[in-house]
Amino acid sequence: MIATTLFPGRYVQGPGAIGQLGEEIKRFGQSGFIVADPLVYDEILPAYLPDIEKEAEIGKESFEGECTDKEIGRLSDLIKEKGSEVVIGFGGGKTIDTAKAVAHEIKKPVIIIPSLASTDAPCSALSVVYTENGEVDRYLFLLRNPDVVMVDTQIVADAPTRFLVAGMGDALATWFEAQSCMQAYSPNMTGNHGSMTALHLAHLCFETLMEFGEAARISCDAGVSTQALEKVVEANTLLSGLGFESGGLATAHSIHNGLTALEPTHDYYHGEKVAIGTLASLFLTGKPADTIDQVYGFCVSVGLPVSLEQIGLKDVSDKDLMKVAEASVKEGETIHNEAVPVTAKSVFAALKMADRYGREFV
Residue 266 appears among annotated catalytic residues = no
- Residues 6+ away with beta carbon under 8 Å from 195: 3, 4, 5, 246
* Catalytic residue from among 37, 147, 170, 355: 170
Residue 203 appears among annotated catalytic residues = no
Using DSSP's 3-state secondary structure scheme, residue 87 falls into: strand
DSSP 150: E
Closest CA to 53 of 80, 99, 88: 88
DSSP 194: P
Going by DSSP bridges, is the β-strand pair 148-152/136-141 parallel, antiparallel, or unpaired? unpaired
Going by DSSP bridges, is the β-strand pair 126-130/136-141 parallel, antiparallel, or unpaired? antiparallel
Residue 92 near residue 112 (C-beta atoms within 8 A): no
* Catalytic residue from among 270, 315, 320, 355: 270
> In sequence order, what are the beta bridge partners of 187?
193
Residue 215 near residue 209 (C-beta atoms within 8 A): no
286 phi and psi angles, rounded to 5 deg? 70, 45
Residue 253 appears among annotated catalytic residues = yes
Residue 170 appears among annotated catalytic residues = yes
* Catalytic residue from among 120, 147, 256, 355: 256
Residue 245 near residue 5 (C-beta atoms within 8 A): no
Distances (CA, A) of 70 to 111, 131, 142, 275: 22, 9, 18, 29
**Segment holding 75, helix H or strand E:** helix 69-82
DSSP string covering 17-50: GGGGHHHHHHTT-SEEEEEE-HHIIIIIHHHHHH
User: How far is it, in rounded angstroms, from Cα 240 to Cα 206?
Assistant: 9
Task: Tell me how long the chain is.
Answer: 362
* Catalytic residue from among 104, 147, 193, 253: 253
Closest CA to 13 of 148, 162, 174: 148
User: How far is it, in rounded angstroms, from Cα 312 to Cα 295?
Assistant: 21
Distances (CA, A) of 188 to 192, 202, 258: 6, 13, 20
Which residues are tagged catalytic?
170, 253, 256, 270
